[in-house]
Amino acid sequence: MATFKGKRISSQEGGPSVFLPGLLDQVTMIAARGATDRELAVMFGLDPISIQRWRETYTEFDDALSDGRTMADARVTRALFERAVGYSHPEEKIFQWDGEIITHDTIKHYAPDVNAIKLWLTNRQKDAWKDRVRNEHTGSKDGPIAIRQEDKVMLMASILALIEPKSDDEGLTIDNTTGSVS
């Protein structure tokens, strides 16, 4: 059983727990670092059910968690954006020359990352960058698709080109106008 200022705050058997509004700033900062409800429960010595109950009962607790998680999402979004467009930052290089340590301030450059660009665009501009290919066909809803005669001839020629001729089929030809095989 954990206590805070002499008060019982949880029971590992899932018993009652006391909500502590003075911890809301800490909850926000912990959530901003990506902590899950279970990890938050462990940090405060609570059972995970208490965290869920507090979220349902105390709107200020749920808001503190949501605010922290929004901050975490914003950091990840910013990092993804920087990977997508490329970025630079100062860096100190350390060298050794004749037994002496030498430092030099430089600027480290990172080129744009194609995978980050793709992830960003497929999520932010779904209609223009989605991975799905949409095939549409013409024809009536219940009837067959109409194929022009020229397309039939080309289709048959393509199929026949893929088939290896047998010894007795060597003289097969397709008439390009009628599509007849001779």
SS3 for 130? Answer: coil
- pLDDT digit string (tens) for 38-55? 999 888 888 889 889 889
Return the pLDDT at 20. 72
SS3 for 8? Answer: strand
Return the pLDDT at 141. 65
Yes or no: say if 87 and 51 are a contact pair by the CB < 8 Å rule: no
DSSP 3-state helix, strand, coil percentages of the chain (rounded to 5)?
50, 15, 35
Return the pLDDT at 59. 92
Domain boundaries of the chain, sorted by first residue = 7-84, 87-124, 145-182
Considering only CA atoms, which of 37, 38, 123, 131 is closest in space to residue 84? Answer: 123
> What is d(CA 113, CA 86) in angstroms, rounded to the nearest whole number?
7
Output the pTM of the full model.
Answer: 0.54
For the chain, residues with pLDDT lower than 70 are 1-17, 132-152, 160-182
Considering only CA atoms, which of 79, 6, 8 is closest in space to residue 47? Answer: 8
Helix (H) or strand (E) holding 104: strand 100-110
Return the pLDDT at 29. 93
3-state secondary structure 32-55: HCCCCHHHHHHHHCCCHHHHHHHH
